Structure 1
């Protein structure tokens, strides 16, 4: 359709240029004929020179019209929306320019932690090199070069608040550490997890303010339910991509991590999945591709639990085009619900001192939508993350094949549905 509009506009411009030149040339001929009839050769010469000068100007004007037509960009289906900045702010819509006009890349990572009292940040302080001392350049290159990079922010940013009573692990990072997200290349973070509220309401609100302060879109939490459930949209290569985040965890009637309500801040909980399904369905109606980033599952096991299996099918049926999970702190399988790819758990990314396998997952979209999904093996060790190669890469790929019976994973990590 865009190509047809471009050809139609080009034809209109050619017609206009032809009309301009025809009229201009006709006026020259008519003027000269009238002067010649009077019988003054000198007057004819002077007038002819003037008419020719006007014709040159008309030709130059026609050339300018043609140059403008050739340089004009095709009208995108979201151009009018993007021109309304107030509406974009209201609806959490962000414009991004892709590295390639032909495809969009979106990369996902799992859990991160920047608390001074835990090993990752202690080691980072000792190294004195910030993010670049904790994540290998190869990994950073993938993260930073992605058109959109998303990560799970598993803690609040604040200098205030008190730790949740009787909770085994409580996390909090200084607000200035939010700049590490920018250093990583993050474009959006999920706050839909069971640690965003670890230091109470005041620290939770500080987190929202801190992220807003650095221009970092967040999803899955807010000052009230309306804000917490609101998707974030990126418009890239004339495609509108929706990001929705929610958390099953904690699975209790009175969770430590407060659920957002109409009048109180908190996270978007989906232990009862109905509201999430509604949000996904609504996002599907106004976007081209819907991604759900969900906090679910059982910790420290690669086995799926019944709630993951149950909700994955429902979320897919509601309209999700890709489901990305975390919370178990270990890698879990790839699967499919009909045509919806599901990565059940990304595992830890840069979270603790354990030596364990991790990953990046890279989604590529083209003009037709889904193009490819790639699993990029990594290793968290000594409080840093590196990309794997050779036999270590193949070891992790083999493991993922073993626990993912419904997909094929090739030697480069590309994931396809069996059958």
Structure 2
């Protein structure tokens, strides 16, 4: 329909220009006829000169119309929606301008931590270079150049609250550290994890206020259930991309990380997956592409547990186009549920002092939707993250091929479904 409107508009411009030139040419012919009939060029010279001047003006006008037609911006299917700023705010819709008009790139990373009492932030403070002292320039270039970059924010931002009683690890970062997200190039964060509520309700609410204060969209948590389950949408290159986040962890009836309810704040829990499936299905109806970022799995193992396998199929069937997982703190396999790619665990990104493999995952969309999915190997070591090359890169790629029997991963990390 859009292409038809373009052709119709282009045809109208051609007709208008042709009409102008025809009238102008007719004026010249009329002037010549007057000379022929009257036989006195002097009598019509003034008239003819005026007609020629009008012809020049008509040609210039025609050129202006043609230039305007050629530079006219195509009508996008979401232009009317984006023009309604109030509705966009209400529905968590954000407009983004892509680096390329033909492709949209979306990059994902795993867990990060900015708590002053843990090794990553202690080392960052010692280096005194902010985020650039802890993430290599190559990694930052990929993250910052992405049209959309998403990461798991596994802690609250607050100076208030008390740590959850009897919980082994509790995290909290100063509100001003949220600026590191902007330094990383983040466009959206997930709060659907088992540490967002570590310092109680007051620190949890401070986190929402802090992220709102820096203009950082978050997903998977909220002041009530309605807000916690609401997707975030980005409109890029005339495509509407939905981001949904939820957590299975902790898997108890009364978890330390509180679940959002109709009247109380918390995270979007999906141990019972029904509500998540409903949210995904609804997002699919109003979006071109749906991404589910989910906190699941068993820590410190590359083996999938039954709940990951069970829910991945259901989430795919509900309408997810891509599933990205985290929580195990190690890399897990790539797989497919029908045509839906699943990265079961991104592992830690910048989370602790342990030396371990990590990654970025880069999704590229074009006008037809999915174009490619790329695994970019990295290494977390000495409380910093670097991109891998050469034999180290191949080592991690070989490991991912070994644990991902249903996909092919080439030398550049591009992932395709076998068969």
Same fold (TM over 0.5): yes
Superposition pairs for residues 19-418 of structure 1, below 5 Å? 19-27=19-27, 29-30=29-30, 41-418=41-418
Aligned counterparts of 2:232 and 2:312: Cα–Cα separation in 1: 20
- CA–CA distance in structure 1, aligned partners of residues 124 and 363 of structure 2: 29
Answer with 382-391 or 17-26: which moved more: 17-26
Flag the 1:20–1:350 CA change in 2: closer, same or farther, 3 A. same
Deviation at 1:61, TM superposition (A): 0.9
Shift of 1:76: 1.4
CA shift for structure 1 position 305: 0.8
**Is residue 312–residue 337 contact of structure 2 (8 Å, CA) maintained in 1?**
yes
- Number of paired residues? 419
For 1:73-102, what per-residue CA distance to the aligned partner results, in whole angstroms no more than 9, with x for missing partners? 221111111111111111111111111111
Unaligned runs of 5+ in 2: none
Which stretch of structure 1 is more off in the superposition, 409-418 or 292-301? 409-418
Q: Quote the Cα distance in structure 2 between the aligned partners of 1:323 and 1:43.
A: 83
Q: Is the partner of 2:278 in helix, strand or coil?
A: helix
Contact 2:113 2:350 in 1 (8 A): yes
Equivalents in 2 of 1:43, 1:86: separation in Å? Answer: 66
SS in 2 for 1:260: coil
Residue 227 of structure 1: SS of its match in structure 2? Answer: helix
SS at match of 1:166: coil
Deviation at 1:383, TM superposition (A): 0.3
| Kept in 2: contact 1:113–1:350 (CA 8 A) | yes
Q: Summarize deviations over 1:125-150 as a string: whole Å, max 9, x none.
A: 00000111000111111111111110
State the Cα distance separating 1:235 from its structure 2 match.
Answer: 1.0
The CA deviation at 1:51 is 2.0
Worse-superposed segment, 162-171 or 112-121: 162-171
Is the contact made by 1:357 and 1:396 (CA closer than 8 Å) also made in structure 2?
yes
SS in structure 1 of the partner of residue 51 of structure 2: helix
Give the CA deviation at 1:414. Answer: 1.0
Q: Please give the per-residue CA displacement for 1:197-230, whole angstroms capped at 9, x wherever unaligned.
A: 1111111111111111111111001111111111
Counterpart of 2:151 in 1: which secondary structure? strand
Partner Cα distance (1:78, 1:212) in 2 = 25
The alpha-carbon deviation at position 4 of structure 1 amounts to 4.2
Q: 1:38: Cα distance to partner? A: 7.4
Q: Report the secondary structure of 1:255's partner residue.
A: coil
Cα distance, 1:52 vs. partner?
1.8
Alpha-carbon separation, structure 2, partners of 1:410 and 1:38: 84
**Per-residue deviation, 1:109:** 0.3
Supply the distance in 1 between the matched residues of 2:124 and 2:63 (Cα, whole angstroms). 60
Give, in whole Å, the separation in 2 of the partners of 1:282 and 1:224. 19
Q: CA–CA distance in 1 between the matches of 2:106 and 2:297?
A: 23
Partners of 2:320 and 2:250 in 1: how far apart? 23
Offset at residue 306 of structure 1 (A): 0.8
Superposed CA deviations along residues 268-313 of structure 1, whole A, max 9, x for unmatched, are 1111101100000011011111000000111111111111111000
Asked if the contact 2:34/2:44 (under 8 Å) is kept, the reply is no
SS in 2 for 1:304: coil
How far did residue 34 of structure 1 move?
A: 6.6
Q: How far apart, CA to CA, are the structure 2 residues paired with 1:122 and 1:86?
A: 42
The worse-fitting range, judged by mean Cα deviation, of 25-34 and 118-127 is 25-34
Whether the 8 Å CA contact 1:36–1:44 is kept in 2: the answer is no
Q: Distance in 1 between matches of 2:112 and 2:19?
A: 65
CA distance in 2, matches of 1:25, 1:414: 61
CA distance in 2, matches of 1:369, 1:252: 38
Q: Which moved more, 1:46-55 or 1:276-285?
A: 46-55
Gaps of 5+ in 1: none
Kept after mapping to 1: 8 A contact 2:192/2:247: yes
